[in-house]
Structure 1
Amino acid sequence: MSSEVLLDVQNAGIQFGGLKAVSGFNMKINKGELVGLIGPNGAGKTTSFNLLTGVYVPTEGNIFFDGKKINGLPPFKVTRLGMSRTFQNIRLFDELSVLDNVKVAYHSLANDSVMSSVFRLPSYFKNELEMENKAMEFLKIFELDKYKDETAKNLPYGKQRRLEIARALAANPHLLLLDEPAAGMNPFETKELMDLIAFIRKQFGLTILLIEHDMNLVMGICERIYVLDHGVLLAEGSPEEIRNNPKVVEAYLGEEIV
């Protein structure tokens, strides 16, 4: 694993009116790491993801990605720099096919000219074929190729999650942000997800930041964990350190973190 810092969050925060949703948030993630971000409901986890990906502009602090300050960049520019994400509530293009959902990610990075697309020049068809072939490669990796013509909304829940991750990876990220990928999954699907995350990390050489409530998943795959509570960083450390941190246990209403 590289010790080179990929993501450096320095005292970042955001305020909505008089409410500080996240304040003084610090995080460093090295290239190749798999890091968890946990906390009770309302702790500010998804808000932090929105800060990192350009959905929100921080009202304090700075965010650096691969050495570049990204404060205020719109989401599509953050994506082009190499940061991609999934969402807590699955956001697929429900009426599009499985294949087209993945091709959308390639279109966002395409360099086709308007003229090529409007007049259907040879370069347009060449690029379309390349994108389709690449999308099919991803679907095979995620064992979704046999569903390529299926409408996305008709996939079982677990496969919709796989498709969303496949689409995020098609954007060729260096850092993949997963927002509660195990939400709504049964234990068998969660175990499959853990194996999938480990596989794609190795296969694509990814750095991964993961929000998750399933502590078995977090403790089972993350190397380091950050804990948020009421928008403030409560703790950071290895899974063992987090599991035995009294402040973290208290934040989870006194329940033992297994």
Structure 2
Amino acid sequence: MTTPLLKVDQVGIQFGGLKAVSNTNAELHKGELVGLIGPNGAGKTTFFNLLTGVYVPTEGAITFNGERLNGMKPYQITRKGISRTFQNIRLFNELSVLDNVKVAYHSNAKHGIFSSIFRLPTHFRGEQEMEEKAIEFLKIFNLENYKYEKAKNLPYGQQRRLEIARALAAQPKLLLLDEPAAGMNPQETHDLMNLISFIREKFDLTVLLIEHDMQLVMGVCERIYVLDHGQLIAQGTPEEIRNNPKVIEAYLGEEVAADA
């Protein structure tokens, strides 16, 4: 077995007397597409916040690419190669679609503040390179025709795609998607399923996604973790999760399990 890209070892966090996540273990290997499911309030987004430095674990260790992440700031973790989207879309609404993607490239910009202040040739070369790469991403997500449109003016489904494009522009090794299909219609969800599989292959990504749409989860994920009340109650293949009595009782229900 190869060394995991991400290893979560007995991780937990407590807010006052509430344990939002407790004694959680998980591993992701390079190239995997893994789901994280569970009822509302199970601790899924809190888990993402722990992985990205928004919260610092009160117990356990998070290791990414062999390096311990505990205590790192979110921007430091982004530079290490973890990028995410959010349950509630967080775009720069007044910026153009193109500028939303270009912003993400600045975390890996080759030109520094000195060249930008003094408008040196390296600044202009760097900006041109970022714009060209950003447009490439917009083409992949079928957003090139909207590049000068304000982000707030995009339809909901396209805003979701823009947020994923921006997350990819940070050049991650691990992409965290927090309910990417939320608010989408069935056709948009189907297209998203294909898009997630495509970008995983094209960019050689490892993907962890939170999602309530079981057809999407079961359709694209190779393995699934299940959280309930902050604790990991199951893990396995989609088939194993679909038939797990604990998962059916805590989250899926008989009808959903049968349809998934």
Interval of TM-score (by shorter of Structure 1 and Structure 2): over 0.9
Q: Is the 8 A contact 2:7 2:28 kept in 1?
A: yes
TM-score using structure 1 length: 0.97
CA deviation digits over 1:97-139, x for unaligned, max 9?
0000000001122142322111211111111001001101111
Hey, what's the Cα distance between the residues in 2 that align with 1:210 and 1:185? 16
Aligned to 2:240: 241
Hey, what's the Cα distance between the residues in 2 that align with 1:107 and 1:252? 40
Aligned to 2:162: 163
Aligned to 1:130: 129
Hey, what's the Cα distance between the residues in 1 that align with 2:87 and 2:165? 15
1:72 aligns with 2:71: yes
The letter of the residue matching 2:148 is D
Aligned to 2:222: 223
Aligned to 1:188: 187
Identical residues among aligned pairs (%): 73
How does 1:78-89 map onto structure 2 within 5 Å?
78-89=77-88
Secondary structure class of the residue paired with 2:10:
strand
Aligned to 1:200: 199
Q: Is the 8 A contact 2:34 2:224 kept in 1?
A: yes
CA deviation digits over 1:127-159, x for unaligned, max 9?
100100110111111111111000000001111
1:63 aligns with 2:62: yes
Following superposition, the deviation at residue 254 of structure 1 comes to: 3.3
Unaligned runs of 5+ in 1: none
Hey, what's the Cα distance between the residues in 2 that align with 1:163 and 1:255? 35
How does 1:22-171 map onto structure 2 within 5 Å?
22-171=21-170
Following superposition, the deviation at residue 253 of structure 1 comes to: 6.7
Hey, what's the Cα distance between the residues in 2 that align with 1:3 and 1:162? 32
Q: Is the 8 A contact 2:8 2:27 kept in 1?
A: yes
1:21 aligns with 2:20: yes
TM-score using structure 2 length: 0.97
Hey, what's the Cα distance between the residues in 2 that align with 1:255 and 1:40? 15
> How many residues in Structure 1 have an aligned counterpart in Structure 2?
257
Hey, what's the Cα distance between the residues in 2 that align with 1:114 and 1:55? 26
The letter of the residue matching 1:187 is P
Q: Kindly report the root-mean-square deviation, in angstroms, between the aligned alpha carbons of the 2 structures.
A: 1.1
